[in-house]
Amino acid sequence: MSFRVTDSYLSNILVGDLNRSLGRLLEQQRMAGSMRRVNSFADDPRAIGTIQRYNALLANNDQYLTNVTRSRLIVDGTDVALQNISEVLADIRVISLRESSAISTPQSQEISVTEVDNLVNRLLDVLNSSIEGNYLFSGRQVKTPPFARSGSTVLYQGDTDEILSRTGPNSTMAVNIPGDIFLGTQSSTLGGQVDMGPRLDLTTSLSDLNLGVGWSPGTISISDGTGTTYQVDVSGAVTINDLATTINAATSGMVNLGISADGSSLEITGAGPLVVGEINGGTTAASLGLNANSLGGSLTGRDVRTTALPSTNLADIEALSGGLPLGVMNVNWQGTDYAIDFSAAVTLGDLQTIFNATVPGMEMQLQNNTLSLVGGSPESFLVTNADATNTASALGLNGNGTPVRLFGMLEDLKAALGLGDKEAIRATMSELNSIENTIYQLLMKNGGRQKDLDWSEGILRQRDERLQSNLSLEYDADVAQVAADLSHAETSYQASLLVTSKLYTANLMQYLR
């Protein structure tokens, strides 16, 4: 049986093969020109979702870096302002020492009144500093000048709120200092130094971790000394117990999660070395404080405790471990000694209730996981241990409470200078010392924020590098492979052209010959 192959059919085959060769050549040329493996959705539909996710993570990371940059402007501007305030206070100290000494005269005191008034104006200029049109010390009322004169009084026009900046997927930080701290509002304070954060337990909700910031549900990677890597999806966990159960089940008991001895962090145990990391640029392990590694069989994470609340039991506070029940502490306030008996207290709220009922005109407050005492007048007070329980020290409240009245102190100094009262001038020195200490504390606090921003920027840049690297694996072409494939495509296309040209040289005259 014979078959007849038509010229049309042969032509279709040749043209189709030629077009396919040309298509492959164009595809390789496009990859070589862009150095991208994926140039359209059709190139690799599976990779598109991953590429878009990495691009979104990179965009978020860029925004965090922008936040860090803008936050640095505020923090650096605040640092300069606090340094200038410190210099003004040094000048005020010189005036107070000079005019309370024997060389002081009515004429020099009169001149000093003008000097102090000028220093007040300098302080107002510094405290009304702005960055990009936003006032540094107005709290969140950044468009309102924080301080204004009303006769001989300086009024604060801002609010008491802090500006929080998102500097990472799970981290925020305050970047400003509300200006009300410089007025003192006719009060004296003593801030505690002991962390009252409660210990973690298996019933602790994951949404309460990191001082109430919470966590990022997702999948984590756990590698142990046996060479096994587990990818554990913990997104369904609600409590620490759920988290522990999920990890134990996913690793068949080879890796277990528990709570550290001091109750401040989570702990992974198994055959060492242990490595806990993220999956696809996630932040789940970091939000649990476990994004780390350990050479041994135990990996202890960072502190992820919850916020101390009035309902927090004293027995759950690690800082008070072995010191319960509490005893008595003494407060000397407005010339009266008050003995506060905390032996019946069970919660932090009980401490506040007992103290507030015992000491009139003074309040115990719970803020930022520490206790503090706030008096309703600018008088100093003294807190001491009253028995062998050392209760004041255990609560971090052993010491002197001092007033912080920047402008009030200056008005008192001006009045004393106007009256020529050297004793009153000398009396302002005590409050000046307290104010200077407050400024130094604010400088240290602000300096800590500068270091935190430096650290955050470093972490974000490392994260950006990792994300770019992961994106490159999905997105970028292999240079050597592209060069080889391009050469092969060119050869194939040229061969197709050659075969086609030879077949189409046949004609009737050649056939008849």
Query: What value does the mean pLDDT take over residues 53-62?
Result: 84
**Are the CB atoms for 251 and 268 separated by under 8 Å?**
no
Which is more confidently placed, 377 or 68? 68
Q: Walk me through the domains of the chain, giving residue ranges and CATH numbers.
A: 77-183+407-439+456-466 (1.20.1330.10), 206-300 (no CATH), 314-402 (no CATH)
Output 100 or 248, whichever has higher pLDDT. 248
Task: Tell which residue, 2, 39, 11, has the closest CA to residue 482.
Answer: 39
* pLDDT given for residue 481 in this prediction: 64
More confident residue, 186 or 39: 39
pLDDT category, 276, cuts 50, 70, 90? very high
Integer Cα distance of 297 and 266 in angstroms: 14
Please report which confidence band the pLDDT of residue 103 belongs to, taking 50, 70 and 90 as the band edges.
low
Q: Is the pLDDT of residue 206 over 90?
A: yes
With 60 as the cut, is the pLDDT of residue 506 above it? no
Residue 149's pLDDT band, with cuts at 50, 70 and 90, is confident
Confidence of residue 401 (pLDDT cuts 50, 70, 90): confident
331 against 10, higher pLDDT: 331
Of residues 230 and 191, more confidence is placed in 230
For the cut 90, the answer to whether the pLDDT of residue 341 exceeds it is: yes
Dihedral sign for Cα atoms in the order 457, 463, 465, 471: negative
HEC per residue, 408-476: HHHHHHHHHHHHCCHHHHHHHHHHHHHHHHHHHHHHHHHHHHHHHHHHHHHHHHHHHHHHHHHHHHHHE
Question: Across residues 431-456, what is the average pLDDT?
Answer: 86
Give the pLDDT score at 436.
Answer: 82
Average the pLDDT over 254-267 and give the result. Answer: 92
**pLDDT grade for 245, boundaries at 50, 70 and 90:** very high
More confident call, 511 vs 494: 494
Q: Which residue has the higher pLDDT, 86 or 13?
A: 86
Q: What is the pLDDT averaged over residues 30-37?
A: 62
Q: Is the dihedral of CA 51, 52, 54, 58 positive or negative?
A: positive
Contact in structure between 201 and 265 (CB atoms under 8 Å): no
Q: When comparing pLDDT for 478 and 134, which is higher?
A: 134
pLDDT at 42: 55
Q: Model confidence at 36, in pLDDT bands (50, 70, 90)?
A: low
Percent of the chain with pLDDT over 90: 38
pLDDT of residue 329: 96
Q: How far apart are the first and last CA of the chain?
A: 27
Q: What pTM did the predictor assign?
A: 0.50
Query: What is the pLDDT at residue 125?
Result: 92
> Dihedral through CA 285, CA 213, CA 55, CA 53, nearest 10?
60
User: According to the model, what pLDDT value does residue 373 have?
Assistant: 85
The average confidence (pLDDT) of the chain is 83
Instruction: Count the neighbouring beta carbons within 10 Å of the beta carbon of residue 12.
Output: 11
pLDDT of 318 > 80? The answer is yes
pLDDT, tens digit, 9 for 90 and up, residues 403-438: 667 887 888 888 889 888 877 787 677 667 768 878
Instruction: Mark residue 61 as left, alpha or beta (left: phi above 0; alpha: psi -120 to 50; beta: remaining).
Output: alpha
- pLDDT tens-digit readout, 363-390: 898 876 778 888 877 678 999 999 999 9
CA angle (381, 386, 392) in 5-degree steps: 65
pLDDT for position 310 = 93
Q: What percent of the chain has pLDDT over 70?
A: 79
The whole-angstrom separation of Cα 174 and Cα 159 is 15
- Highest mean pLDDT out of 149-158, 434-443, 450-459, 479-488: 450-459
Q: Can you list the positions of beta strands (E) in 224-263?
A: 229-233, 256-259
- Confidence label for 3 from pLDDT (cuts 50, 70 and 90): low
Name the packing angle between helices 406-419 and 106-127 (round to 10°).
160
Nearest partner of 72 among 442, 438, 447, 459, judged by Cα: 447
Strand stretches in 324-369, DSSP E = 328-333, 336-341, 362-367
